[in-house]
Chain A
Amino acid sequence: MPDVARVTARPYPFSPPDRLNLDPRYAELRRVEPLSRVRLPFGEEAWLATRHGDVRTVLGDPRFSRAASVGRDEPRLTPRQIEGGILSMDPPEHTRLRRLVAKAFTARRVEQLRPRTRQIADGLIDAMVTAGPPADLVEHFATPLPIQVICELLGVPFADRHLFHVWSEAIVSTTSLPPEQIQEYLDNLYAYIAELVQQRRREPTDDLICAMVRARDENQDRFTEQEIVQLAAGLLAAGHETTVTQLPNFAYVLLTHPEQLAWLRAEPARVPTAVEELMRYVPLGVASSFARYATEDVEVGGVLVRAGEPVIGSLSSANRDETVFAEPDRLDLGREANPHIGFGHGVHHCVGAQLARMELQVGIGALVARLPELRIAVPEPELTWKSGMIVRGLARMPVAW
C-alpha cells in the first residue's frame, strides 16, 4: 500500500475556526484521501480519518487503543498532555471507572431529572422576561442551566459556580490561558473536589460524588482517591462546558436558519429530532484529538496503519459524510435517519450523552416555546466568538424578543 502520503503532513486544524463553518478540506479529503497525514500544534504526526465508517473503526475497534497513548508524545491541541484519566484507559481498566459513574447517566435516570431541568429553564426565561430585552443568552440562560443540573446531580454547591466555572476553562483551553494558569486552575479544581469528597465522607448525602466516595470506601483497592477526584472533576467540568457552549451554538444556527426555526415552532414535538440534527450539524470541536494508537497493523480507508501509529477520527467530518447523510451540509431539523457521532463512538462514547440531550431538548424547547420573537440583538458580524479553546462557541450572544 502507498506510503507517499507520509511526507506531506498538513498542519491541523486546517484553518482557524470560522464561527460554526467546517473547513471544506474535510469534504475533499473524504473524497480523495480518506486517511491523511496531519501535524497538530503539539506532539507527533498522526493519521486523520475523515469518513464516517473509518472514524467509527478508529473509535470503536479494540485494535485501537487510548492506553497506548501514555508515554507517547500524543498529537494534541494543548501544550499539556492529559494523562492518567479515564480517557487514557482501555477496557477492562476503563470499564472499572466508567461503571462507577455510568449508572447515574442512563436514559432512565436522566428522565427523572427532566421536570427539574424544565423548572430551571423556565425560571431563567422568567427572569429574562422580567428584566426585559436585551439579554445575553450565554450568561443568562446557557451557562446557569447546565451548571445547576450537573451541580445537583454531582452534589456540588451551585453557589460556588463562579469558582469552578472559571477553573473549568482549563479543561477546554488551548491558548486562551497561559500554560501556568491552566495548571493553577486544574490544581484549584482538583483541590476543590478533594475537599467535597472529604465532606461527603463526614456527612453522607444522596448524590453522585457521595456514591463514588461510598464505592471507594467499601472497596479500597478498587479505586484510588485520586481517581475519584479526577473523575468527579472531569464530570463537573466536561459536564457543563460542552452544553454551555452548545446551547448558544444551537440557538445561533436556528436563528440564522429562519425557515427551519419556523418549522420547529410549528412542530414543537420534534425538538428531540431537531437536537439530533443540530448535534450532527454543529462542529463543536475546533478539531478532533484524542488519537487512538493501533496495537497491530490495521487497514483503514485503504491505508495500512502500522502498529504503534496514532490515528485521529474527525467527528465533525464523519457527521458530514455524503455517503451516510443526504445533503450533509444542509440543516434539516426533521432528518429521520441520523446516525451522527457527535457524542463520539466506542467505549469512550460521551458518558453524559443522555444528560446533554435532555438539557439541549429542554433548553431549545423552552426558547422556542416561550420566546417566539427571539432574535440576535446585534448585526451578525458583531457577534464575538471564543478563541483559544478546543470548542467553538459564542463569548456573548445578545438577544431580544
Chain B
Amino acid sequence: MSAGWRIAVDAGRCIGSGGCVGMAPAHFRLESGAATPIAATVEPTETVIDAAESCPVEAITVRDDDGDLVAPA
C-alpha cells in the first residue's frame, strides 16, 4: 500500500468533543476523554477529511505519503 494517509491528533489541543468519532467512527475513538486515531495509517477516504476539517480546534491533521498536508486545507 503506497498511497496511505497518516492521521494524527494533537492531544494538547483535543477537547474531546467527540465530533470526529461521530463523523468517522471507523477512524477515531475517544480514549480517556481525548480522540485517538484507530489506525495511524489509512486508505485515503473523504471521511477523515470531513473529520479533520470539522474539528472545532483543528486538533486533527491528515498527511499523505510524502508528508504533505491533506487536511485541514
Contact = CB atoms under 8 A, between A and B. Distances in A.
Contacts of A56: 16, 33
Nearest to A101: B54
Contacts of B72: 103, 106, 108
Contacts of B53: 99, 102-103, 106
A347 B56 contact: no
Interface in B13-60: 15-19, 21-23, 25, 30, 33, 50, 53-58
Interface in A90-111: 90-92, 94-95, 98-99, 102-103, 105-108
Contacts of A59: 18
A335 to B, nearest CB: 15
Interface string A285-303: 0000000000000000000
Range of interface residues on B (Cβ < 8 Å): 10 to 19
Contacts of B16: 56, 60, 339, 345
B48 to A, nearest CB: 12
B58 A108 contact: yes
B23 A95 contact: yes
A41 interface: no
A91 B22 contact: yes
Contact of B17 (A91, A99, A103, A346): A346
Interface stretch (A185-193, A196-204, A348-356, A381-389): A348-356
A351 B17 CA distance: 11
Contacts of B17: 60, 344-346, 349
A79 interface: no
Nearest to B73: A103
Interface in A65-99: 90-92, 94-95, 98-99
Contacts of A94: 22
Interface in A337-365: 339, 343-347, 349-351, 353-354
A343 B19 CA distance: 13
A343 B16 CA distance: 12
Nearest to B13: A107
A155 interface: no
A338 to B, nearest CB: 10
Contact of A349 (B19, B25, B30, B33): B19
B33 A339 contact: yes
Given A95-B23, A106-B72, A346 B18 contact: yes
A62 interface: yes
Interface centre among B21, B55, B56, B58 (most CB of A within 10 A): B56
A102 B23 CA distance: 12
Contacts of A90: 22
Nearest to A90: B22
Nearest to B15: A339
B56 A354 contact: yes
Contacts of B18: 59-60, 345-347, 349
B33 A62 contact: no
A98 B50 CA distance: 9
A62 B54 contact: no
A351 B56 CA distance: 7
A389 to B, nearest CB: 25
Interface of B: 15-19, 21-23, 25, 30, 33, 50, 53-58, 72
15 contacts: A59-B18, A60-B16, A60-B18, A62-B21, A62-B25, A91-B22, A92-B23, A99-B50, A102-B53, A102-B56, A106-B53, A106-B56, A107-B56, A349-B18, A351-B56
Given A95-B23, A106-B72, 4 more contacts: A99-B23, A106-B56, A343-B56, A347-B18
